[in-house]
Structure 1
Amino acid sequence: MDDSVLQSSRNMESSSSTYTDIDGDHPKAIIHIDIDCFYAQVEMVRNPELRGAPLGIQQKNIVVTSNYEARSFGVKKCMLVSDAMKVCPNMKLVNGEDLHNYRTASNKIFAVLQCWKCPVEKLGMDENFIDVTNLVQEKLKSVNTAGLAVSGHTYSEPSMECPCGCHARLRIASQIASEMRKKIFDDLGYTTCAGIAHNKLLAKLICPLHKPNDQTTIYPEHGTSFMSTLSSVRSIPSIGSKTTETLISHKIITVSDLQEAPLEVLKKIFSSDMAVRLKNLGLGEDNTPVKQTGKPQSIGLEDSFKTVSVKSEVEDKFSALLQRLLVLMREDGRIPVSLRVTLRKRDAKRLSSHRESRQAQISPSIFTLNNGLLTVTDAGQQKLMSIVMRLFNKLIDLSKPFHLTLVGLAFTKFQERMTGRSSIVNYFMNDISVQSVLNLQNDCDTSATSMDYSAVSPSSSTTTDLSDAEVEPSPKKPKKVNWIAKRRCLAKEEVASPSKLKVGELRLNSKELEKVSELRLNSRDRSLTPRASPAKDNLSDASDSMKDIEEGACEDCPSYVDKEVFNALPDEMQQELKAMWKNPAGADKPRSSPRKNKAKTNTIMKYFVPQK
């Protein structure tokens, strides 16, 4: 028996024997869906006349992809146009350098997959991972799994049922995958292939086994044996060219070699975590979650060519990329705040090409909103081009010859156009709170109570006039906005907001003591004595407006005092006022305060005794 076959057989037996020891080891159900010859299908859906004939998608002088009719003649991916036309002279070519239609089709397919209410993770424009674990659990409650068959192909039939129940879950997942592929075809006209497994790695690798327009399910116990059939470690996703070169330099070429390599040897070559990761991938083990795809973190375009060595040509290519990039930015709707420039230099000393990038911040004011769409004026485009060329000059020493094979532009670090809690209002008011000391009644018509506290968020639908509100930082409640609505009386003298007052300004001066004494004496016979002063007129109006104040809030308070306002004052101030009311004669004593000639015009009495 061949050594590789024997090793695969041992792995299968080892996997099967562990079932009695492991329970719930394969809980997930992952689907990987890949669109068949994506670019070519998009063109065939747009132009049905292209169906049935050999078709190639051309970018520069390369056929980046082709339909299956062209592949049957020997046309391969990334083949030179000249070579492709030799093997398939009747092939029709469509220019595919503009990716707009392909991005639109990709977004439509993504939207269809979202209908199942499961996490969907995009991988490029033509591939998607879907985690249907929760949906499968729901279907298990109503589906008889005894006679449930797999939809599509199976990599290998299991010798026994896994005690964790993964076989039944994957059968249901295969039915869901079939439904998804059917809906994509019915709604959009695209054929697809699918892979179904308990992790992302196996689902992706098993997907193309029966291309096109079909699907394959693989069970957990066959993961190791399937991985051993891969001819190169480069076939494993997430193993890049540099890691592959390192593995090959240590005689680890195939995935079977990686499976047999001792972990201790790998740890000497890579870090401990990396070694464990590579070992698990080689065995078909992967716990990477399916992450719901949102808007991309960057929007970029690239243009590759044989070589460019003149600055003016580079500037022309950047200008063309920028025009196309602005179209993508407009469709995305976010405002970019960073611009990245990428160059690929031809270097004869290095076997593999290398890229260099620089990025710079850009002002959001360059972008304007026009009929709900983001636009850039001609002046704004000139600013962007000046930033691009400035970054280019940092990457290239123009005093020396240069040879470029690729240029790229990308917008990164976006900000949303939002209102409400994330609007500019909330930005400025984020750490501000309004503190109200008093909200006093006077002879103006108002519906507010004496102490009217309200907390109105900037995003609230309640409209509040904040022109008079006094704001100051709140050390106790940061990042919270408390708004206090205050009515202005235009017919009466404007009274300064209490939040402007300092503690020293809340002391009563002698003039106010005299006034309070006079008011207290006159208030005893107000009903018998005609009103003779403006202060008494205001006092009478104020007392009428305070009839609804509860009795007993302050037994020593005169009738003209707002008792709720009095109770809101500091205890020291309440004691001072009570002492003054009990001994009004004290107001006749000589003034001994060193501040006797500096009477404050904005004092607490202005709120107890309204003035005209």
Structure 2
Amino acid sequence: MEEQNMESSSSSCFDGYSEHSRSIIHIDIDCFYAQVEMIRNPELRSVPVGVQQKNIVVTSNYEARKFGIQKCMLVTDAVKACPNLKLVNGEDLQPYRIASNKIFTLLQTWKCPVEKLGMDENFIDVTNLVQERVKMVDSKSVTVAGHAYKVASVECICGCHTRLKLASQLASEMRSKIFNELGFTTCAGVAHNKLLAKLICPLHKPNDQSLIFPEHACSFMSTLPSVRCIPSIGAKTSEALMSLNIHSVSDLQQVAPEILQKPFSGDMAVRLKKLSFGEDNTPLKQTGRPLSIGLEDSFKTVSVKSEVEERFSALLQRLIVLVREDGRIPVSLRVTLRKKDAKRLSSHRESRQCQISPSIFTISNGSLNVPEAGQSKLMSTVMRLFNKLVDLTKPFHLTLVGLAFTKFQDRMTGRGSMVNYLMNDISVQSVLNLTNDCDTSGCSMDYSAASPSSSTTTDLSDAEVEPSPKKPKKVNWIAKRRCLSKEDVASPSKLRVGELRLNSRELEKVSELRLNSRDRSLTPRASPARECLSDASDSMKDIAEGSNCDSCPGYVDQEVFSALPGDMQQELKAMWKNPSSSEVPRSSPRTNKAKSNTILKYFLPNK
């Protein structure tokens, strides 16, 4: 009779929460770090193993737990409890990241949304896959794979019992595949929401799985000894609840909503109440690439700049390996420090970040690399940010340093991408920093001041930016000299960008044309654009006088002219012979027709 009352009370707790349509699986890898080490070294499978970071055992296998080894136990205490404990250094997280990514990739083969939670946990939304299987089975013949928290007495009218049973079978398939292909044992939880799936998962740990039906959510939640067992409740929230004498989840279920609204907002109070009954409508979000890739190194204390630089250098080397595996090009770098402040009696974190140039990273054989010059530049950026966080004129004490790349740009490697274009065997140089390999005259223009390599990082308050140099106003370059051998095909696309320059005499000619066009533009009823074009055409005509149609004006290089296609040569000859024909008719204000695109616009200076 008492059990029947519990069933009815459980059902009444959940009467308002009738959303059972989803089927969620939560998979947790058993003693993840320890399993990774045991797979790497099979000799560790039958002995107590502890994974050590600094002076703490962060996790252990189940053989070690039989001796009382607990998570985050001091190494000295762990060795006393288990003298035969085999300690493995786990400070390098790279093997664990690789294993985690393999598991995540394998779970994605089911074509369902997968959300990572740390390295060793994953949520899988199998709702659509279950819906397909429901159509192909007899609901009465479907059984639970693994364990059920309680046996369902009455079938739910929405059909969620059948769906969750099918989800449990999917969970068993996933766990079997993870073990057969990767060697990891796992536990799983199956429920209609993420909260219950996660909480029911360790019920039959290790290497097993559990299912909970919606009508049992209230009674299951009431068995949790502390409100901290609910994943959404952190330290501050639990402290506020304890101040109201609310310690267990059962206390939270029974408290009046009005009392919860005193320390919390109305929405927060409602959410806490629903969580205590096992309701969670949080959607499952497909995990994509990480928004940041970072590493940290903690220690007792560091007070010397040289030692800080050594630790940053070690972190940077490891971080470059992670970025190479990720494949994206970082464009922002963040430095994090944890300072020990005697006045505050606690440690606190501070961070600064700045943008970095993507040119630091190179692509070789399809993989991302950082040459020594790039690493040196990154280290100088790191130490510059460090100098902004720490006043070196005063003593400092650090207990943690961290590096992270926080923004990325995807590599575009298709046929039409800029990367593919720049990697071709074409002599292309920055328009801002042109060098002339064939011209040794002293009249070349020097743009070294505008070169990107000379730009420096501008410091801002929090998010610092390394700006690109300002682009000069658009200049129409006149082809001066061809730098290809005579046996090369005469094509404008193979002209070196570095040869499209203006010498001093040509600059004087351009300036003179601009001055003339500016003076004439003051004449009433004259179009400035028409006057400028007319003046330029007149100047060309004057220069071309006395020469036949087969020759070029004095300011055009004969070699470059001969490299142009035949139709361009004919157009230029016609223009030099009759400059007035190149005038562009004035367009009506009401029409927006595009002007003809002739070679003239590339050889005449803009006004």
TM-score above 0.5, yes or no? yes
Secondary structure of the structure 2 residue equivalent to 1:234: helix
Larger mean CA deviation between 305-314 and 124-133 belongs to: 305-314
Q: Residues of 2 paired with 1:252 and 1:408: CA distance? A: 38
8 A contact 1:8–1:228 mirrored in 2: no
Q: Is the 8 A contact 2:334 2:405 kept in 1?
A: yes
Q: Distance in 2 between matches of 1:57 and 1:355?
A: 26
In the alignment, what sits opposite 2:117? 123
- Residue 349 of structure 1: CA displacement? 6.0
- Percent of counterpart pairs with the same letter? 70
Alignment of 1:23-422 (within 5 A): 25-347=19-341, 353-419=347-413
- Aligned pairs (5 A) from 1:542-581: none
In structure 2, how many angstroms separate the alpha carbons of the residues matched to 1:155 and 1:362? 53
Q: Distance in 1 between matches of 2:368 and 2:310?
A: 24
Distance 2:79 2:416 in 1: 56
**How far apart are the structure 2 equivalents of 1:390 and 1:256?**
53
The alpha-carbon deviation at position 108 of structure 1 amounts to 0.8
Contact 1:26 / 1:166 at 8 angstroms: preserved in 2? yes
Give the 3 Å change call, closer, same or farther, for CA 355–400 of structure 1 in structure 2: same
Q: Determine which of 9, 12, 17 is the counterpart of 2:10.
A: 12
Give the CA deviation at 1:386: 1.8
Q: Report if the CA contact (8 A) 1:33-1:195 is conserved.
A: yes
What letter corresponds to residue 403 of structure 1 in structure 2?
H
Q: Which moved more, 1:36-45 or 1:378-387?
A: 378-387
TM-score, normalised via structure 2 length: 0.68
Contact map agreement 2:11 2:216 (CA 8 A) in 1 = no
What whole-Å deviation, never above 9, does each CA across 1:217-248 have from its counterpart, x for those lacking one? Answer: 01111112212222222221132222222322
Q: Distance in 1 between matches of 2:181 and 2:378?
A: 40
Change beyond 3 A, Cα 1:493–1:87: same
SS in 2 for 1:503: coil
Runs of 4+ more than 6 Å apart: 5-8, 465-468
Matched, 1:504 2:586: yes
Report the structure number with the largest CA radius of gyration.
1
Q: Offset of 1:46 from its aligned partner?
A: 1.2
Paired residue total: 450
CA distance in 2, matches of 1:144, 1:9: 27
Contact 1:301–1:409 (CA<8 Å) still a contact in 2? Answer: yes
SS at match of 1:45: helix
Distance 2:258 2:388 in 1: 44
Letter in 2 for 1:371: N
Is the 2:13–2:277 Cα contact (8 Å) retained in structure 1? Answer: no
CA contact (8 A) 1:35 1:192 kept: yes
Mapping 1:442-457, distance limit 5 Å:
none
Post-superposition Cα deviations, 1:40-98, rounded to whole Å, max 9, x if no partner, equal 11111111111111011111111111100000111111111111010111111111111
Q: Which moved more, 1:373-382 or 1:170-179?
A: 373-382
Call closer, same or farther: CA 1:466–1:298 in 2, change over 3 Å. Answer: farther
Question: In structure 1, what is the Cα distance between the partners aligned to 2:119 and 2:17?
Answer: 38
What is the root-mean-square deviation in Å for CA atoms of aligned residues?
A: 3.3
Distance across 2 between alignment mates of 1:49 and 1:310: 42
> Using a 3 Å threshold, how does the CA distance of structure 1 residues 247 and 120 change in structure 2: closer, same or farther?
same
Worse-matched range after superposition: 278-287 or 339-348: 339-348
The alignment partner of 2:262 has SS state of helix
Give the partner amino acid of 2:224: L
Distance in 2 (CA, whole Å) between partners of 1:408 and 1:315 is 12
Deviations 1:534-576 (A, max 9, x none): xxxxxxxxxxxxxxxxxxxxxxxxxxxxxxxxxx999xxxxxx
Give the structure 2 partner of residue 472 of structure 1.
Answer: none
